Amino acid sequence: MKLSIIVIGDEILLGQVTDTNSGAIARTFDPLGWQVASVSTVGDDPRVISDAVNRTFDSSDFVITTGGLGPTKDDITKTVLMENFGGHLEYDESVAENIRRVFALRGLKLNASTEAQAMVPSSCRVIQNLYGTAPIMWFERDGKVLVSMPGVPFETEGMLPEVARQAIQHYQSELRLMHRSAMVTGITESALSERLEDYERNLAPGLHLAYLPTPGLIRLRLDGQAKATDTEFEQVFNLAFEKLRDELGDYLIYDGDATAAEILLDMLRRHGLTVATAESCTGGSIASRITAIAGASDVYAGSVVSYSNDVKNRALGVAADDLATYGAVSRPVVEQMARGVCRLTGARCSMATSGIAGPGGGTPEKPVGTVWMAWCVDGRVESREFHFPGNRARVIDRAATEAMLQLVNQIRNHE
């Protein structure tokens, strides 16, 4: 099955909002063995939307559009779809009922432009949107389907399982696609590709290895594609993945697809440890990445974001003398931060960061990108200086990732 996605909205096209819907749709359908053929992003221009719909519908089995359905005047998708699939606007009581339900839930007052959402093309079948007011519209022609979903990520992500269920019901999958990931750290992408050259050359037909580098962490994904009738393919695929694990050795930090924070939480849980963070330059980024994961409170005690020297001293007990003598970005300070936050929170592990994220604040001795880090595991403290390239966001992101992955290694070595 060939799936194409059309993302509609000037705000996406102009780069004011980053599209995450297409990724969510791909992540839903890809594991089902559907082939995501293309994503097209278009603005709120009826002619351009219409062209994209025609072109994409012809070359795909299934099309999902997102966006262009809100109650405001810059929404035109409904009209364009009606031009393509026929029919006229008619009032749908079930949609109106859903709109009233959503508004009551949010304690809001109905108004005319919201009620206009209850008018839907007679040529579509409605899938009720449980997460918002814009109806999801299912159009069919020549046995192929176009589904129009909302632009709000929360609504589209919420309704994707139901849309996928109905899509599977409508079609039969012919191809079997498999994916499995391994997370790798401590090696560059190019050194890794040299190391795996023989492995890749000897992969069985239908298997392919993809490199997906992120700052500090490379995701390797083994992709497999075979006919649904090929019953032995799963075994071939799994053996190839086992061999990949062997080739990676210690560079393999996690078997599966995971973020640095997920890898750390997994390691802490397996060792029955708890962790706290003392963040200066990373400014709460480590804390927020850890607490974004449901259930983090099992192992995460808390954080002190000690942006000022005063807080480093008062909350974490860093000696004022050391702050004056060595500066905030120094080994003695991060080591005291790491110990201090363990003392304050009672956690058995901790990590501490202090650095110059930029763009200002750099000196010849400590240029922008300099970050000192310390880790504490059951009272044993290690520390290290890093130099990260790039702008502020990149330095913060990279430092947060590195702090977590290094702690994973510390705990692994501590075993």
Which residues in the 165-184 window bind its own copies by CB under 8 A? 179
Query: 259 CB contacts (<8 Å, ≥6 apart)?
Result: 217, 289
Give the C-alpha separation, 260 to 344, whole Å. 25
- Binding-site residue total for its own copies (CB under 8 A)? 109
Any contact of residue 47 with its own copies (CB under 8 A)?
no
| Residue 243 binds its own copies, judged by CB under 8 A | no
Strand partners, 208: 223
The piece of 66-74, 80-88, 168-176, 247-255 that touches its own copies (CB under 8 A) is: 66-74
Q: How far is the CB of 337 from its own copies (least distance, A)?
A: 12
Q: Which of 47, 88, 93, 109 binds its own copies (CB under 8 A)?
A: 109
Residue 150: closest CA among 160, 140, 141: 160
Site residues for its own copies, 341-370, by CB under 8 A, read: 344-346, 357-360
> 13-40 as b/e, with b when 16 or more CB fall inside 10 Å?
beeeeebebbebbbebbeeebbebbebb
CB of 175 to its own copies, least distance (A): 14
Binding map of its own copies across residues 180-209, x = CB under 8 A, - = no contact: --------xxxx-xx-----x-------xx
Smallest gap from residue 392 Cβ to its own copies (A): 5
Instruction: Please give the angle made by the CA atoms of 169, 125 and 32, to the nearest 5 degrees.
Output: 25
Considering only residues 126 to 165 of the shown chain, the ones binding its own copies according to CB under 8 A are 131, 152, 154, 157
Q: Minimum Å distance from CB 23 to its own copies?
A: 3
Q: Taking the complex as a whole, how short is the minimal distance between the CB of residue 199 and its own copies, in angstroms? A: 11
Nearest to its own copies of 57, 300 (CB atom): 300
Longest dimension (CA), the chain: 78
331-345 and 309-316 are packed helices; what angle lies between their axes, rounded to 10 degrees? 40
Q: Considering the rule CB under 8 A, would residue 238 count as an interface residue with its own copies?
A: no
Of 51 and 382, CB closest to its own copies: 51
**Min CB(142)–its own copies separation in Å:** 22
Query: Considering only residues 112, 229, 249, 413, which one is a binding residue for its own copies as defined by CB under 8 A?
Result: 112
Over the Cα atoms of the chain, what is R_g? 26
Pick 84 or 123: Cβ nearer its own copies: 84
Q: In angstroms, give the least distance from the CB of 415 to its own copies.
A: 26
CB distance 150 to 102 below 8 Å: no
Count CA within 13 A, CB hemisphere, residue 213: 12
- Judge residue 7's burial from the number of C-beta atoms within 10 Å of its C-beta, 0-12 exposed, 13-18 middle, 19 or more buried: buried
Task: Closer to its own copies by CB, 210 or 228: give it.
Answer: 210
Residue 150: φ, ψ to 5°: -70, 170
Kindly identify the residues of this chain, within the stretch 272-311, that bind its own copies according to CB under 8 A: 277, 279, 282-288, 290-292, 294-297, 300-308, 310-311
| Angle subtended at Cα 74 by Cα 73 and Cα 79, rounded to the nearest 5 degrees | 85
CB of 258 to its own copies, least distance (A): 12
DSSP annotation of 290: H
User: Between 188 and 231, whose beta carbon lies closer to its own copies?
Assistant: 188
Enumerate residues 6+ apart whose C-beta is below 8 A from 395.
Answer: 281, 355, 357, 358, 368, 369, 371, 388
- What mask, x for binding its own copies by CB under 8 A, covers residues 389 to 408? xxxxxx-x------------
